[in-house]
């Protein structure tokens, strides 16, 4: 009995250590299992899981300030640059015409199945590729899909996720916004449009030695490039609608066999406007609401 009493403090200490270890491993299990848990079908907002990998975080953390629109070579020589110069009257006229052109652009969901020349698509992609990018990484991949079976697979993936999104995941407010605008998860244009352009941002590049190379500001760069693409499409009389399919990124990336460093940013169905195309009767803000002059 005396022996037991002597041993009691040791027994207590050992048991405490054991329990602390058990508790700790339980805590760790809880922590590591968290990212694996699927979003539940409730009203909580969520983000595309494909965008939540560590690369995305490190690329975000590595932002620098200056875009350095210049190449990856060791020391680039500088060359003279003399862009075309216009007289003030001509400048004013060109600025008016360009605004007038772009102001006629609208997002269109009613797209004609008529074929569109492939070379026109090549040229609008080339135009998009002239965008500036952080450290001139040109972190974009434009996947142009015209093959009907692939288009249909894309539609199935997008509609399946969209239906879940609309019905279960979205906040009441967003669903209400959608109802008001008669948009739902049926995306007929994904079958009908002669081209689907899926725009991937390259979150990082791979150096010859296999190491990852951060692509600074990749999302902003690719979005700027999309701006040029929208202008180029409208300039040739084609229409599209800017969509960002939620939660479909990983599946579409797998379907289109894009590498792990590429994340889907946008999906644009492209073609002529359908003969009976309509758009919501919206207005744009006047200049005074978007510009402040100092």
Map the footprint of a second copy across residues 59-88, applying CB under 8 A.
60-71, 73-86, 88
* Gap between the Cα atoms of 217 and 137, Å rounded: 10
Helix pair angle (218-235, 118-128), 10° resolution:
140
Binding status of residue 177 toward a second copy by CB under 8 A: yes
Of 35, 172, 210, 290, the residue at the interface with a second copy (CB under 8 A) is 290
* Gap between the Cα atoms of 227 and 149, Å rounded: 28
Of 55, 56, 212, 231, the residue at the interface with a second copy (CB under 8 A) is 231
Binding status of residue 208 toward a second copy by CB under 8 A: no
Residue among 32 and 292 whose Cβ is closer to a second copy: 292
In the complex, the smallest distance separating the C-beta of residue 35 from a second copy, rounded to whole angstroms, is 14
91: Cβ–Cβ under 8 A, 6 or more apart, which residues? none
Residue among 36 and 245 whose Cβ is closer to a second copy: 245
In the complex, the smallest distance separating the C-beta of residue 53 from a second copy, rounded to whole angstroms, is 16
Residue among 5 and 36 whose Cβ is closer to a second copy: 5
Residue among 16 and 206 whose Cβ is closer to a second copy: 16
Task: Answer whether 131's CB lies under 8 Å from 221's CB.
Answer: yes
In the complex, the smallest distance separating the C-beta of residue 194 from a second copy, rounded to whole angstroms, is 13
By CB under 8 A, the count of residues binding a second copy is: 145
Binding status of residue 207 toward a second copy by CB under 8 A: no
Helix, coil or strand: residue 167: helix
Each residue 184-203 as x (binds a second copy by CB under 8 A) or -, in order, gives --------------------
Task: Answer whether 128's CB lies under 8 Å from 229's CB.
Answer: yes
Residue among 2 and 36 whose Cβ is closer to a second copy: 2
In the complex, the smallest distance separating the C-beta of residue 23 from a second copy, rounded to whole angstroms, is 5
In the complex, the smallest distance separating the C-beta of residue 69 from a second copy, rounded to whole angstroms, is 3
Taking CB under 8 A as the criterion, which residues in 33-62 touch a second copy? 45-48, 58, 60-62
Q: Which helix H or strand E contains 265, and what residues bound it?
A: strand 262-270
Closest alpha carbon to 269 in 247, 239, 244: 239
Token duo for residue 294 = 């100092």
Closest alpha carbon to 144 in 107, 161, 119: 119
Residue among 47 and 254 whose Cβ is closer to a second copy: 47
Helix, coil or strand: residue 261: coil
* Gap between the Cα atoms of 152 and 158, Å rounded: 10
Task: Answer whether 171's CB lies under 8 Å from 45's CB.
Answer: yes
In the complex, the smallest distance separating the C-beta of residue 74 from a second copy, rounded to whole angstroms, is 6
- The DSSP line for 111-138 is B------HHHHHHHHHHHTTS--GGG--
* Gap between the Cα atoms of 198 and 257, Å rounded: 12
Taking CB under 8 A as the criterion, which residues in 88-147 touch a second copy? 88, 91-92, 94-96, 98-99, 102-108, 116-117, 119-120, 122-127, 129-132, 135-136, 138, 140-147
Each residue 245-264 as x (binds a second copy by CB under 8 A) or -, in order, gives xx---------x-x------
């Amino acid at each position: 009995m005396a022996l037991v009493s002597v041993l009691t403090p040791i027994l207590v200490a050992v048991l405490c250590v054991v329990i602390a270890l058990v508790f700790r491993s339980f805590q760790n299990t809880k922590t590591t299992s968290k990212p694996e848990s699927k979003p539940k079908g409730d009203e909580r907002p969520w983000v595309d899981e494909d965008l939540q990998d560590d690369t995305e975080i490190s690329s975000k953390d590595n932002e620098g300030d200056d875009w350095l629109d210049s190449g990856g070579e060791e020391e680039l020589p500088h060359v003279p640059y003399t862009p075309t110069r216009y007289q003030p009257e001509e400048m004013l006229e060109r600025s008016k015409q360009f605004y007038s052109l772009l102001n006629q652009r609208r997002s269109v969901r009613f797209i004609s199945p008529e074929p569109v020349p492939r070379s026109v698509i090549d040229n609008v992609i080339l135009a998009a590729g002239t965008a500036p990018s952080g450290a001139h990484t040109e972190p974009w991949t434009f996947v142009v899909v015209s093959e009907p079976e692939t288009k249909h697979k894309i539609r199935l993936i997008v509609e399946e996720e969209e239906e879940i999104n609309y019905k279960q995941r979205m906040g009441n407010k967003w669903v209400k916004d959608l109802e008001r605008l008669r948009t739902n998860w049926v995306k007929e244009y994904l079958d009908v449009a002669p081209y689907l352009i899926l725009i991937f941002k390259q979150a990082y590049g791979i150096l010859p030695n296999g190491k990852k190379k951060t692509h600074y500001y990749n999302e902003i760069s690719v979005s700027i490039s999309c701006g040029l693409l929208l202008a180029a499409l409208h300039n040739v009389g084609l229409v599209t609608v800017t969509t960002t399919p939620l939660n479909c990124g990983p599946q579409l990336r797998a379907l289109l066999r894009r590498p792990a460093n590429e994340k889907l940013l946008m999906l644009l169905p492209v073609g002529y406007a359908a003969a009976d195309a309509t758009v919501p009767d919206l207005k744009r803000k006047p200049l005074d609401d978007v510009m402040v002059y100092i």
